[in-house]
Amino acid sequence: MKRVGIIVFTAVTGLLLIVPPPNASAGVVETVREDLRPISGTVVMQQEGEYLVDLDARHGLRVGDLLSVVTKGPEVIHPRTKEVLGRLDEAKAVLQVTQIKSGFSLARPLSGAATIADGDLVRRFALLTAAFQGPAPQSKALYDELREALPELEWQGLFSVGERSGSSLKTDLLFTLENKELRLLDREGHPLRAWAYAAPQPAPPESVVPVPAPVPEPVGKDSSPVLWTAGGADFGPFTSLGELPSRVLMSAFTRDQDRYLLATVDDKYVRVFAVAGGLQQLAVTEMRGETVSPLAVAWWRPEKTGALYLVVTAGEKIYRSSGMTVETQLSGAIYEFAGNSLRLVATDLRYFLGTFDRDGDGLPESLLGQEFNLDNEFGKTFVLQMEKGKVRASKPDLTLPMEFALPGSIVGDLTGDGKLETAFVRNGVLWIYAGKKRIYKSSKEMGGSISTLTYDMNPGAQNTMFAVLSLEVPPFRHDIDGDGVAELLVVGAETSALKVPGIGPGIKKSWVAVVKFRGGKFQKGRLPGELEDPIQGIWSDGKQVYLVVSKTTSSLTKKGSSSLLTLPFRQPAK
C-alpha cells in the first residue's frame, strides 16, 4: 500500500494566513486539532508480530492511535527561488497502538506489514484516509473546519447519516456526529476519541445572560448539583496523561518557572513528576521509619524566588513490646526539591501540615500545622516557619473557626470582596467561613478521600475502639469562567457509610463540584463527567482541570493503581 501524502510545509516567507471569523464550533475543533496533532517517531524493532516505536504517553500517545509508516518523498522546490517548500511523503503501512510503556509503545500492523523495517519513520494521525458522517444540516461547516484543522489527513468526503458510501469507503478514520457528540472511529468501527459538541446557535442579544443554576442559601443545605455552564466554562471529555506508580493517597501541583510539577504520596514513597503532555518522574524518596506512612503532600515556597519545598503529613504507629499497637501519632517531614532531587530538611513534625497561597500569586507561601488529638481529631493550629534548619511554631495571624480542619482546606478570597475566607471539607460537607462566621454549608456529598488515619480512641484500655479519620483533598481556587471572581473546585463523591481502616470510605462515583459566589449567595454546580474511582488531587492551569484518580484493587489491601487525567476546556475561558 502506498499513499502520496500532502505536502509537508517548512517555513515559507511571505505566507499569508487567512483567519476565518470565530464560530460556535471553534472550541471543539481546536480541541480536536490538539488531540490529534501529528507526532513523529521511529520503528525500533519487531516483537512477536508487533512493532516497538519510540513514543509513549509523554508524547500524547494513547492506546488505539494510528501511526503511518512513512517513506520520505521527493522535495518540492520552488522553480524561481529554489526554496524547498516541503516534501511529498508516502505511507507504506499503518500501525495501531496496543500498549504504552515507559519510553516506548507496542503497535500492531493493520496493513503493509511486509514493508516495515527497523528505523522507519512513523507519524501519528498523518497520511491516513478520513471521512465525515453526520446529519446534513449541521455537518458541512464542521467538516470544512476539521479539514482545515487536520490537513495531514487525506479527506475522502462528507456523507449523510445512513448513506452507504460513507461506510463502504473503509477509511482509516471516520468522524461521526450524533447526539451532540463528535466521535472518531477506526476502520473497524472501534471508538478512538469522543468530544462533546453543541450545534451553533444564533447569538443572543448582549443583554441576555446564561440562566443561573438553582442558588442555595448562604447557610444551610444547598441545592442538588447542576451541570456547570456559567460564563462559557465549557469542558471536553477526560484525557489520560499517563499512569502513576502504585495507589496515590494524595497529590499536589505547582508551577516552577516554565514547568508544571506533580507531587504524590503512597503508603511509603514521596515522588515528583514533571507534567508536559505526559508524566516524567524526576525524584523519589522513601519516608524514614518502618512504621511511618505518608498521608498528604503540599508544595511550599516561603519566598517568591527562594527554595521550593515539599511538606508531607505522615502517620506513625507506636507499638508495645508485645507487638500490639498502642498509639498513633503524626510524624511529618519537609523536603527541599532542587536539582530534580529531594533532600530531607525537617522531620518528626507532630502536625497535620498544609500550605496556602494567601496573596493570590499562585505560589503557596504560608505553612500551617494543626495538632491531632483524640477528643475531636483536629486541635490547635499554628503558623510554621523554618529558621536555621529548625521549624518554629507561632500563633496564626488569621482568624480560623473552631471547627477548622487543616486537611482538605484552602484560604483565599472566595466572595470577591478582597478579604480572605476559609473553606474546608469535613465529614462530607464543604464549610466556608468569613473569620468565625459561617457563610456556607454544602449538602453532604463532598470529599471521599482514601487517605485515612486509623487510630485507637482509647489507647491503653483493655478494649480497643478504632476510628478512621479521612484526610480530604484540598479544594482548588481558580477563575474558570473569567468574570474576576474565583470558583472553588471541590472533589465530590457518593460514598458508602462504611470506612475500612487504611482504605477509607467506599466510593461509588466521584466528580468535580464547583462552588461560586454570585449575587450575594453561593451557587453549587459540577463539571461534566463522573468517575468510578476516588479523586486524590485537583488543579487547574486555566486551560484544563487536572485530576489524580486512584483505584483500590481490593478492599482488604492497600494495593491499586492511579492515573493523571485532564478535563480540558472546549473553548478558552474569557
Shared domain check, 255 and 189: no
Q: Is the pLDDT of residue 105 over 70?
A: yes
Higher pLDDT, 22 or 489: 489
Domain assignment present for residue 349? The answer is yes
CB 18 within 8 A of CB 563: no
- Given this model, what pLDDT does residue 17 score? 27
564 assigned to some structural domain: yes
- Enter the DSSP assignment of 57: G
Is residue 231 a contact partner of residue 483, using CB atoms and an 8 Å limit? Answer: yes
Residue with cell 468530544: 195
Q: Is residue 573 part of a domain?
A: no
Q: What is the pLDDT of residue 25?
A: 57
Res. 123: pLDDT tops 90: yes
- The answer on 535 and 394 residing in a single domain is yes
Do 143 and 66 fall within a single domain? yes
For residues 185 and 55, membership in a common domain is answered with: yes
Residue 218 lies in a domain: no
Residue 525 lies in a domain: yes
pLDDT above 70: percentage of residues in the chain? 80
Comparing C-alpha atoms, which of 471, 470, 513, 509 is closest to residue 491?
A: 513
Asked whether residue 211 is assigned to any structural domain, the reply reads no
Find out whether 379 and 403 touch, Cβ atoms under 8 Å. Answer: no
CA atoms of 195 and 142, how far apart (whole Å): 13
Q: Is residue 224 part of a domain?
A: no
Tell me which amino acid residue 458 is: N
Question: Confidence class of residue 393 from pLDDT cuts 50, 70 and 90?
Answer: very high
For 170-221, how does the pLDDT look when each residue is reduced to its tens digit (9 = 90+)? 899 999 988 778 889 998 888 888 887 876 655 444 433 343 433 333 444 4
pLDDT > 90 fraction of the chain, expressed in percent and rounded: 46
CB neighbours of 30 closer than 8 A, spacing ≥ 6?
A: 149, 571
Res 399: pLDDT: 92
pLDDT, tens digit, for every residue of 128-144?
999 999 887 778 889 99
Residue 239: left (phi > 0), alpha (psi -120 to 50), or beta? beta
Q: Assess whether pLDDT exceeds 90 at residue 456.
A: no
pLDDT of residue 404: 95
CA distance 196 to 286: 42
Residues spanned by the domain of 297: 230-568
For residue 15, pLDDT over 50 is answered with: no
Same domain, 171 and 267: no
Q: Beta-carbon neighbour count of residue 212 at 10 Å?
A: 15
Which is higher by pLDDT, 180 or 7? 180
Question: Last residue of some domain: 144, 179, 196?
Answer: 196
**Residue 358: all three cell numbers together:** 494567601
CB-neighbour burial class of residue 97 (10 A; exposed 0-12, middle 13-18, buried 19+): buried
In a shared domain, residues 168 and 294: no
Of 3-17, 333-347, 446-460, which range is least confident?
3-17
CATH number, domain of 88, equals: 2.40.10.410
Q: Are residues 180 and 326 in the same domain?
A: no
- Does the residue 204 lie in any domain? no
Mean predicted confidence (pLDDT) in 465-477: 88
Task: Please determine, for residue 237, whether its predicted confidence score (pLDDT) is greater than 80.
Answer: no
Determine the angle formed by the axes of helices 26-35 and 136-149, rounding to 10 degrees: 50
Rounded to whole angstroms, the Cα distance separating 382 from 396 reads: 5
Do 138 and 277 belong to one domain? Answer: no
63 in the same domain as 21: yes
- Which positions ≥6 away from 511 have C-beta within 8 Å? 225, 492, 493, 526, 527, 529, 530, 531
What CATH number does residue 263 fall under?
Answer: 2.120.10
Question: 326 vs 198, which has greater pLDDT?
Answer: 198
What is the rounded distance in angstroms from the CA atom of residue 355 to the CA atom of residue 470?
18
Residue among 289, 280, 340, 290 at smallest CA distance from 310: 340
Domain boundary among 143, 172, 196: 196
Mean pLDDT, rounded, for 158-174: 69
Gap between the Cα atoms of 71 and 122, Å rounded: 9
User: Residue 509: which residues within 8 A CB-CB, separation 6 or more?
Assistant: 493, 494, 530, 531, 532
Whether residue 16 has pLDDT greater than 70: no
- What CA–CA distances, in Å, run from 540 to 47, 233, 308, 348, 548? 40, 13, 20, 32, 12
On whether both 399 and 548 belong to a single domain, the answer is yes
CA distances to 226, 239, 416 from 404, in Å:
28, 35, 22
Average pLDDT, the chain: 82
Q: Kindly state the average pLDDT of the residues 19-33.
A: 62
Same domain for 55 and 152, yes or no, is: yes
Closest CA to 326 of 318, 316, 335, 315: 318
- Among 99-103, 163-167, 340-344, which is the least confidently predicted range? 163-167
Lowest model confidence (mean pLDDT) among 45-54, 235-244, 364-373: 235-244
Do residues 257 and 373 share a domain?
yes
* pLDDT tens sequence across 538-554: 999 888 899 999 987 65
The pLDDT of residue 81:
87
Residue 122: the pLDDT is 95
How many independent structural domains does the chain possess? 2
Residue 561 confidence (pLDDT) above 70: yes
pLDDT at 222 over 90: no
